[in-house]
Every structure is written in C-alpha cells, then in structure tokens.
Structure 1
Amino acid sequence: MKNYILLCLIFVSAFSFKSYSQQSKVNSGDKKYDQYAYINAIKTYEKVANKGYKSEDMFKKLGNSYYFNSDFQGAAKWYGELFAMNTNLEPEYYYRYAQALKSTGDLVKANKILDEFNAKFKNDNRGKLYKEDVNYLDQIKANSGRYKIENAGINSKYSDYGSIVYNNKIYFASARDTGNFSQRKHKWTGEYFTNIYDADINAENGSASKVNKFKSAINTKFHEATPVFTKDGKTVYFTRNNYDNGKKGKSESKTTLIKIYKATLENDKWTNISELSINSNNYSTAHPALSPDEKTLYFASDMPGSIGQSDIYKVSINNDGSLGTPQNLGKAINTEGKETFPYVTSENEIYFSSDGHPGLGGLDVFAGLISPDGTIEDIQNVGADINSPKDDFAYIIDPVTRKGYFSSNKDGGLGSDDVYQFLETKRLRCIQELEGVITDAETGAILPEAKVTLYSNQMEKKNEAIADASGRYTFPVDCGKTYNVRAEKEDYATKEVTITIEKTTGKTELPIALEKVSCKVTVGDDLGKCFGIKMIYFDLDKSNIRTEAAIDLEKILAVLNEYPKMKLDIRSHTDSRATFKYNEALSDRRAKSTIDWLIQNGIAPNRLTGKGYGETQLVNKCADGVPCTEAEHQENRRSEFIITAL
C-alpha cells in the first residue's frame, strides 16, 4: 500500500509539473499573441498542442494567428479543433472557419458552417448576404473568364503588394531587402517591414524595368505602403505605421497602429510629411484612394462607428487641402468582416476587397456602382480569374485601356504576396447605349433640338438630352431594364415610347417620329383630344394613378406649364355597369385623384376644378339593360379636360 501511495504521489507530481510546464508555455504564447507576434505565438502554441494539450482559448488564438497571416490551411486545422471542443462560439469564429474551409477547397463543409452561422446570428449582415445569394458560386462562375493575367515582373520572394501607376511608373510596397544593414522583421508576419518601391513600365505591354527603392523621406524603418498621387504630381497620400519625426506613436493599449500621411513635392523632394486629420492613435486608417475629380478621399478604417473589423469610408477634400468629416459608405458595402483597399474609377465604379461578401475564401475583389446620391449598389464578385481561395486585393484598373494590377498570395507566386498585371477582355456589367433620331412623322425630316427625356418604367426621371443637329440623342442604359422615352418639340405633340433593353452589351436603336399639333384649342374645348387622351387609366375599382395615367397626365401638365393662365375642369365618366351611386362615387374619386396629381406636380389649385359624373352623360345608347359591346361601353368610360380659361 505504501508503495502504491508513493507511486501515485510520484505520478501526480510528474503530472502537475508537466501541466505547469505546458501552462507556462501557453502563457508565453499568450504574451506573444497579445503583442501581435503571431509567427512566434504559432511556434509556441503548436509545441504545446502537439503534445496533446487542448484549450478553447489556445485553439482560438492559434486559428487567429494563422488567419491573420492568410494561412487558411493552418487556420482551418485549428478552428476545426476548436469546433470539436465547442460549437457555442462567437460569430467571428463561425465566419472565419467557413472562410478558411473555402480556402482549402472544402466548400460543402464551409457552406454548412455558414448555414449554422446564419441560423445562430440572424442580425449579422454577412449571413444575410450569404442567404440572399446562396448560389453565389454561380455568379462568380458567370463573372469569370474575363481576364488575361500574368506576373507583373516586379515580384520578389518577399511580400509585394498594393500597386499604383503614375507617370509611367508603378509604385508598390515590398518587404524585400535592398541593402539595408539594419533589417527589422515585423513580428506579425515574420517578414521585414515594407517600404515603397517603383519601376518604370512600358506603356504598350506593361512590362517593368529594374525595381528601385523609392528614394524619399517617405520611407522609414517601419511600414509604408499604398501611395496615391494627385494628377499634378505635387501631393501624395500613403499608409504608414504611426511614426513621424523619429517618434513612434502608440494606442491606449500600447500598440502602434497605421495611419494615412500626406506629403508635397518641393524642389523634386517629398517634404511636409504630415498625418491627416482623420487619424487617431487609437484606430487605424489605411489604403487611400482619390476620386477622379480629387475632391474625395476613400480609405479603410476601424474608427468608432465602423460596422466591422474595417470599413470603407470617404471624406471630402476642401479647396485648402483640409478634410471634412469621414462618412461610412454604409451597409450596402461594409459588413461585420473586413472591407479594404478601395479604388474608384471615372465610370463611378468602386473596387474593393472583402471577406464579408460571399466569395471564394480570404479576401475577394468586388466591384460596385456609386449612385448619384453616393450610395453603393450592384456589388458583384469580379470572378475567379482575379479571385482565389487566398487573399486577393489592391485591384486597380484604367477604365479606358482596361489594363490594371492586383495583389494576391494565391498559389504559384514568388512570395507571400505578389503583384499581377491584367487585361480585362470583357466587361463585368452589360453596357448598353439607347439612341435614336427624332423626325417629323409626316415628312421624315429630322428634328434637331427636340427635348428627349428618359424615365424608368416607374416614371422616375433618369436622364435628359437635346437632340443634336442630326436629330440624334443617346443615353447610357442598363441591360434588361424597361424605360419610357419622351420626345418633345414646339408645334409637335409630345410622344412617349416604352422600350425594353437587350441583355447583352451593344446599342439599342429607338427612332421617334413626332406628329405636328393638328388642333387649336379654345375655351370649352377638351384638351385631352389634342393628345388622343380618351381616358385616364386606373386599376379596377380604384382611384390610384397608374403608370399609363401618369404618362398622359405629363402631357396635360406640360401644356398647363406652357400656358400659366389656362384653367381646366376635369371630368371623369363611367359606363352604365355597376350601380348608379357606385359609378358616381368612383368617378368623383378618380377626378379628384387626377387633380391631386397635377397639384402635387406644381399646378396651383385655383386653376383646377373637377367632378365625377358617373353614368349620367353617356355618349351612346348603352344605358342600364341595353345590350352593348365592350367597345361601345368603352366610349362612355372617358376623361375630359375642358378648358375654362386661357
């Protein structure tokens, strides 16, 4: 018995020492993790894990350490261990695990985790986006096959990324060594800190010459990346660690974050380096991009008010170079994940990278349209040519040549990140031009200076043009949509035509022939007869103005605006079917709805009167009990616009 007790004591002591040793190593790994030294944290954690030690917290940090370095195979392994221990986890681990699984090619399991993610966290926009577009892989496939891609010729075995082209040079960030004796490695990635490099490029084929380190005070011993130049070449915005004038700034948690800086060119030297007013020691701002008119700066940040880990913002640039108040671009583009590396073109397209929108894994490149009110719409994955199961980002494109660059750590590259050049051979979106010639319906003569207005099928005004000397007009339109086109010219009757645009890129021809106004109206005449308006159409038994009714009322509105002293009495009539009382009430509501529509569109109420007459003023024999055809009943269902003053 004594021997047994002694043996147990020895075993317990050995086990306790072993547990203490393991915990000590885990604590050491935690310190490295908290200092963002992920590469060193991985080494420490894995030594313990490979000896059988299991901990939810350690598996979280192991998975994160790989995930934050875009090593999704390692992330999937340790997130898998985490989920084997517990599935009652925070939403971020569901999403990261799914992203990591996608990157390893396990789409079935990834989508299963995303289904669970969406079921558990219904308010997370990433789950909603996935559920709304559960067939996202089909869209990615449809958007693929549009690029010719090749290595940009500037890459090294280290990280190279974030390119911009200016004045026949390509500028990019690189962690390569170019002779600096005081090499310093970043603990997050295990690579050297990045500086900005450049290379001359051939304008015809995009090939690059020898790479040089950007000789400027912009480069320091810490990270510099993603420069963007103004068109005149006198100002550059760029990303740098919180480091200025030899002093390193830190957040409240003693962490050095990243900021956007600005420099100006004086005597061929970059000087006046200063951080932007949108920066803070306690959050990051990065990856600046300029709007084509250089009045707006787009950037990524995790500043207070962000939806996710990093959001895309914009801020106005004032005439004196100062900045306005940053505006989050909203939930249409930003998710609870990462949105970063914005780029805006002269075609109102915004390209960005995201791991929150449905993609192939890691960061994918997406394209959205910037609407006139600044909101982002029609966001699409650009396809599997650019995107991969790894991180794909920093996409830029020349909207004229359709040539550009992007960065990726996809398989087959030279380093952890590489810069690729591409030629887009087919547009992402279908592009259509609606055009035509305005002519005289009787003679065929062209009608220059006719006013042509484009409306949606809901009669929302989209565009306006004046026909040129050859009577031609043109509008950019969306493929597959239906539009109403109105043509107007003095002495001619206004005409609207409805057209549905083809779903393939090309041009849609819509000639419009106008008829000369054949009637001269006076007090007592029905203005509607000039435009062939027999009745204002309403849905059955209703008095809401329909689209067809609005088109005809627009004609009446135009005349009232042209003749500001004209007054109208609006009369609505029905046929004899239904009861007398019902017909009288319905026609009265319809007359009043017509008047209300004109008032809402700017006509003074004192210019309009109106009444419903029901079936009291039939124009034929079709009274109650008299058999009539539908065409005969139609004659009695009419609207009149009687001129009472001119």
Structure 2
Amino acid sequence: MKALKTNIIAFVLLLSCTLSAQLQYNDADVNFENMMYVRAARQYESMVRKGDKSKHVLQRLGDSYFYNTNMKNAAKWYAVLFSKYENVLDPEYIFRYVHALQGTGDYVLSKAIMKIYKQKLEKSGFTVEQLKDNDEKMDELLNRQPQFYVSNLSINTSVSDFGTTYYKDKIVFSSSRDSLKLETRVYEWNRQPYLDFFVADANDLGFDLDNVVSFSSILNTRYHEAGATFSPEGDVMYFTRNNFTNQNLGRDKDGVNHLKIYTSELKNGKWTEATEVSFNSENYSVGQPAMSPDGSKLYFVSDMPSSLGGTDIYVVDVDDSGNFSTPRNLGPAINTSAREMFPFVTEEKLYFASDGHLGFGGLDVFESEFGNDGFGLPNNLGKPLNSNKDDFAYIVNESTQRGYFSSNRAGGKGDDDIYSFRRMEETCEQTVKGSIVRTANAQPIVNVEVALCAEDGTPLANTVTDPYGAFHFDMTLDCESNYVIKTKKEGFKSGQGNLETSKEKDLENNVALEMTKELNKLIVQEDGVLKIKIDNIYFDVNKSEIRPDAAQELNKIVEVMKEYPNMVIKIEAHTDSRGSDRYNETLSDKRAKATGNYIVSQGIEDNRIESAIGYGEKQLLNQCANGVKCSQEEHNLNRRSEFIIVKLN
C-alpha cells in the first residue's frame, strides 16, 4: 500500500523528519532523510535480520512504511518497537501506531492502545480527537448509516491519480501516468513517476470522466505539480509545485526540498509561466490551495512554525489586485496536533482531510459549517466515503450533491484513485431520553414533572420520572434544532436544560439533569465567589466560644454541607478596626477555629474544612479603618464570618 501519503506527504506537503541520523546507519539514514522510503525500508529490515533491533532502527523502519502508507508493515514494526521501548517513546508514536492499526482494520486493538496511553497523551500536549477515550463515539461512527454512493472512475491507472478540482465545465487532476514523456523519471519516495496536471470532461451523468489530456505543457515540469484551484472566472490558477530553480530542486539548510504555491494567468488561451505567491518560504512548505467561491480568500496547507501539528490549514485574504494578507491559522476547531490537509470551500462549508479528528484510520474527509462564531465542529462524513485507508481531496457541487474524492482504499486500480460520489438526501429525526438526580448526592428523583418545549417555550410533550429518575418522550425531534427540557417537583428548585440536536440521523439523545432542594438558596455568589450565606454570628466580648444563637446559624452550614457531601469550605473571620491590629487578628483566628470545630462536632468530616483563619481588621468592607470615626452599624458591617465554598461537587 503505497498510498496517498506517497503523494500527500511526499508531494503535497513534503515535511522534514526530525529524527537525527547516526553514523553507523549512514546509507539507510541518507535515503530516509531524502524520503526514499522504499529503499530505506529494505535497508532497515536487513539490519533487523542481522540482529539490530535498536530504537533508532525500529522507529525508522516503522516510519518508512508509515510514510508510504503500508500500514500492515508499519503496524508490524511499531508493535516490535512498543514491545521493547514503550516507556521512552514520544507520544507521536502512539498516534502512528493507532493509525497503522486502524489502517489494517484492527479497531479493537487500536482502541485498547488509546486507553492504555491516554494519561501519557494528556500530559504530553499531543492532543487529537483520534486519541481520546471515545469508545462510544467510535462505535457510533462505525454504525452510522451510509450517506454516499461511490464509484471508481474508468480513467484511473495503476499509479497515482488524485486531487480533482473544478475548472469551468471540466475537471483538472494530478497523475503519475507520465503518458507524454519519452523518458520516464522515477520519484524515489514510492518508485513512481512525478506528478503532472491533466484535464478531463465530466460526462452528463457526473459519475465518470473521459477525454483525458495533459493540462498545460508550460505548467507541467520535470518535478511534482498538483493541488490546483482556480479563480471564479477561471483565468487565474494556483497550484503546488516543488521548490526548484533552473531545473534544480531548492533545499533549505537541512537539505529538505519544500513545496510552494505558484500562480499562473490565462492569456490568449495559454497559461503564463508560473510565479510564486508572496507567502512562500524557503524554510517550510505551503501547498494545496483552495479558493473561496467569491475569490476573496485562499485557503492552503502549511507546516510553518505557527502550525498546531504536522500540517495545518491556513487562509489569506486576496484583494482585487491579487495581493495577499498575512496567513491566518484556522485554529484548534479545525487543526489538531496531527495533519489537516486538502481544504475545499463552498459558500456553506469547509471540507478537509484529517487524521487528527476521530476517524476510521488514515486520512478521513470532514465537513465544517461556516458560522458567525467561526467554524463548527468537524463532522466525519462516514462510510463508504471514508475508509480505513486515506480518503481526501473532496470536492462537491452543493446544489447537486455530486462530486469527487480520492482514496487509496482496497479494490482500487492502482495507488491513489479518483472516485465519484452522490450524497443521499434524507430526513433526519432523533429521540430523547434522560435522567434526573439530586445535585447533593446524585440520587434519582421520582415523580418529577418533565416538559419538552420548543426553543420559544411552546410545550411539545410531558412525562414524569420513574422510580429510577429516568424519563423519555415518545415524539421524535428534528435534527439541528434547539429544545428546552423543564423540570418541576415540590420541595425542589425548578430547573431546565437545553438540548441542541445534531445532524446525525436516528440518534438517541441522552440528557442528564440535576435538581437542587430549596435549601440551596443559602448558596450565593458574591463577586464571583460561591459562599454559604447565613445571618451573622456573634461572640461575647473578647471571647471565642460558640453561643447558642451562633450555633443556630451554624447548624444551617451543617445542613447545607450534609446536602452536598462533597462540598469543601474555608472559614474566614473578620473584626472591625477597634482595638489593636494584633489583638484583633489573634481573636478572630480563635473565633474562626472555634467555628470550624463546632461544624466538625456536628458530623462534618474535618477534611471538608480546608482552613479556618482569622484576618482581624485586614479586610474591612468600608472606610472604618483606624482613626476613622464610624457608627456602630458601620463597625458591625466589618464584624463577620464568611463561609467560602472551595469545592461543590
């Protein structure tokens, strides 16, 4: 399986590998660093057969297959690597091992690996949805109803054909078919010819392409060209190409050949010589341009230093003169610590490929809707459009829901193939059930009146909870709609929860709600701090003993803490400014500790009182400091005990 990464990583974003070369592996390492992965894999396997199972050799052997999307062999050698060096491996290798397993269809073991290394991943900062503890989400994705009809195109060859884009009434794509060259030049990454642009007619049914010819002898060169997009008028083209000058590859200080975006104009029926865009760099790659339908924005992919992961999607504004703004990263809603690639934009959505969001293995296609607050949560388009191999370069006509994508899945004609698709139209309905528990102790509440309402408050259905605190409604809900669930029971504070249904057909929403007793009116928020608010407690002059009237108020604290068995508080005692500062601090501290001791004596565990400290006159609530004449009422305002909630649940 040489796969998309052959072309996606090798061609569309050739990323430098960061593992350091070692002298004893010089020849293999040179091939690896030059991305000649087929040749490097053979050399590293030879070392293993001779007994060298060092971390360096096993990592690079697994990586050689991984970068060439030979997931069967990648999983094999990553397994050996983990068996010997699991405690000293970077978190990125967990990600690669999981993807290699998914690429072979072994979802059971891949989920087990995710669980085993969940804590290590969380500590590392290598965060991707794919590696989170998400059994339920993965099962839902595997069981989701198909939304697409897909078909392999007749124009595919035994080598790479991928990356379609719309051009007027035709389709432009990239291919290694090398049909116009007298002398075939081979790219050492995957032992295939370099990529060129071709153009084809879309037949009337939209399910196939025909009449394939070379797109432009001016733009096709001896190195890679792919990932094209066009202005709305079709007279300006942006595309990706190896960085080269005078027919020689340009390399950075580490010897890496990066990719650049080039542009060309159609003049007198011919494309002009390509020129670079202004945001290219000699030190990192940019590629896979995708123009917005109105031509005002150009999206692209890069591994520039501001990237969140391997490759991220960026955007620049394009003015009327064709000038570009500073690139902007689309942010963590879209980009992950892994790879996001192949953007395509319509007026409604952003489509892209990713191996960082939850998927089936390899690259999957996702969609994200444009909203007032940015991009919505990416949605995996599911099977059969996505597979356990690489699926990418999705383009669609939103009005017909027909389009094309590329994949190296099993059953194709060669390496990467182009597929057509039609997305099914379907009604979308969901159901809802839920449970209601007491906030204090998570115990179910029986006979709660539960009302399902529309977003504007219109009642839709009613029910009551059973002895287990559970409820459900028989009616179905519309997808992508907002609802309100209201709760009511005597002795409890009425409440409500919001439900926003997703796009997923036949999903059963499970809503967990809580209700609190009226007692919770004692819990207030002051200046952003949660407190238990009771009437002030008083002490005899110069005393710290708890008086009966103070005990009556403190019993309210005890009652609230018993209602919330996980609640932790801290006690602060304060005085007015009369008396010396030191005396006031000492007296208030005694009173704070006496207050805490009383609460513990009433059955509250002492570890639920984090601290009991007297602050004297350090935290006055008004101007009545030393030497300021104040009334008795003003001084009384500063004489107080406060019960601050440190932990509620």
User: TM-score scaled by structure 2?
Assistant: 0.63
Answer whether contact 1:313 1:326 (CA < 8 A) is retained.
yes
Could you say what secondary structure the match of 1:122 adopts? helix
Amino acid at match of 1:364: D
Could you say what secondary structure the match of 2:73 adopts? helix
Equivalent in the alignment of 1:84: 83
Answer whether contact 2:129 2:357 (CA < 8 A) is retained.
no
Answer whether contact 2:230 2:236 (CA < 8 A) is retained.
yes
Equivalent in the alignment of 1:592: none
Deviation at 1:181, TM superposition (A): 2.0
User: What percentage of aligned pairs have identical amino acids?
Assistant: 38
Could you tell me how far apart the structure 2 residues matched to 1:202 and 1:321 are?
A: 33
Deviation at 1:426, TM superposition (A): 3.3
Deviation at 1:92, TM superposition (A): 0.9
Could you tell me how far apart the structure 1 residues matched to 2:111 and 2:500 are?
A: 36
Deviation at 1:338, TM superposition (A): 0.7
Change (3 A) 1:258 1:380: same
Answer whether contact 2:153 2:419 (CA < 8 A) is retained.
yes
Q: Does 1:71 align with 2:70?
A: yes
Q: Which string of whole-angstrom CA distances, capped at 9 and with x for unpartnered residues, describes residues 439-483 of structure 1?
A: xxxxxxxxxxxxxxxx9779xxxxxxxxxxxxxxxxxx9623138
Uncovered stretches (5+) of structure 1, i.e. residues with no partner? 1-22, 432-454, 459-476, 485-498, 507-538, 545-646
Deviation at 1:48, TM superposition (A): 2.3
Could you tell me how far apart the structure 1 residues matched to 2:58 and 2:190 are?
A: 19
Equivalent in the alignment of 1:266: 267
Change (3 A) 1:457 1:311: farther
Deviation at 1:98, TM superposition (A): 0.7
Could you tell me how far apart the structure 2 residues matched to 1:133 and 1:288 are?
A: 32
Answer whether contact 1:395 1:406 (CA < 8 A) is retained.
yes
Q: Which string of whole-angstrom CA distances, capped at 9 and with x for unpartnered residues, describes residues 479-501 of structure 1?
A: 231389xxxxxxxxxxxxxx999
Change (3 A) 1:97 1:483: same
Q: Does 1:356 align with 2:356?
A: yes
Equivalent in the alignment of 2:542: none
Equivalent in the alignment of 1:307: 308
**Is the deviation greater in 248-257 or in 393-402?**
248-257
Could you tell me how far apart the structure 1 residues matched to 2:504 and 2:115 are?
A: 36
Equivalent in the alignment of 1:289: 290
Change (3 A) 1:42 1:370: same
Answer whether contact 1:430 1:479 (CA < 8 A) is retained.
no
Answer whether contact 1:101 1:107 (CA < 8 A) is retained.
yes
Could you say what secondary structure the match of 1:86 adopts? helix
Equivalent in the alignment of 1:41: 40
Change (3 A) 1:421 1:128: closer
Q: Which string of whole-angstrom CA distances, capped at 9 and with x for unpartnered residues, describes residues 397-444 of structure 1?
A: 11000001110000000111000000001369889xxxxxxxxxxxxx
Could you say what secondary structure the match of 2:64 adopts? helix
Answer whether contact 2:298 2:316 (CA < 8 A) is retained.
yes
Could you say what secondary structure the match of 1:367 adopts? strand
Change (3 A) 1:309 1:543: closer
Could you tell me how far apart the structure 2 residues matched to 1:385 and 1:303 are?
A: 33
Could you tell me how far apart the structure 2 residues matched to 1:504 and 1:284 are?
A: 35
Equivalent in the alignment of 1:531: none
Equivalent in the alignment of 1:147: 148
Could you tell me how far apart the structure 2 residues matched to 1:260 and 1:45 are?
A: 34
Could you tell me how far apart the structure 1 residues matched to 2:334 and 2:37 are?
A: 29
Change (3 A) 1:153 1:351: same
Equivalent in the alignment of 1:515: none
Could you tell me how far apart the structure 2 residues matched to 1:71 and 1:415 are?
A: 14
Deviation at 1:505, TM superposition (A): 10
Could you tell me how far apart the structure 1 residues matched to 2:24 and 2:250 are?
A: 30
Answer whether contact 2:206 2:402 (CA < 8 A) is retained.
no
Deviation at 1:182, TM superposition (A): 2.8
Q: How does 1:109-258 map to 2 (within 5 A)?
A: 109-123=109-123, 124=125, 126-127=127-128, 130-131=131-132, 133-141=134-142, 143-244=144-245, 246-258=247-259
Deviation at 1:319, TM superposition (A): 1.6
Amino acid at match of 2:422: L
Change (3 A) 1:125 1:380: farther
Deviation at 1:74, TM superposition (A): 1.1
Change (3 A) 1:131 1:429: farther
Equivalent in the alignment of 1:107: 107
Deviation at 1:167, TM superposition (A): 2.1
User: TM-score scaled by structure 1?
Assistant: 0.63
Uncovered stretches (5+) of structure 2, i.e. residues with no partner? 1-21, 431-453, 458-477, 486-497, 506-519, 526-649
Deviation at 1:203, TM superposition (A): 3.3
Deviation at 1:143, TM superposition (A): 4.2
Answer whether contact 2:178 2:194 (CA < 8 A) is retained.
no
Q: How does 1:486-565 map to 2 (within 5 A)?
A: none
Change (3 A) 1:174 1:129: closer
Amino acid at match of 1:361: G
Could you tell me how far apart the structure 1 residues matched to 2:388 and 2:29 are?
A: 29
Amino acid at match of 1:116: I
- Higher RCO (Cα < 8 Å, 6 or more apart): 2
Could you say what secondary structure the match of 1:396 adopts? strand
Deviation at 1:318, TM superposition (A): 1.4
Amino acid at match of 2:100: A
Answer whether contact 1:365 1:395 (CA < 8 A) is retained.
yes
Deviation at 1:195, TM superposition (A): 0.4
Deviation at 1:372, TM superposition (A): 2.0
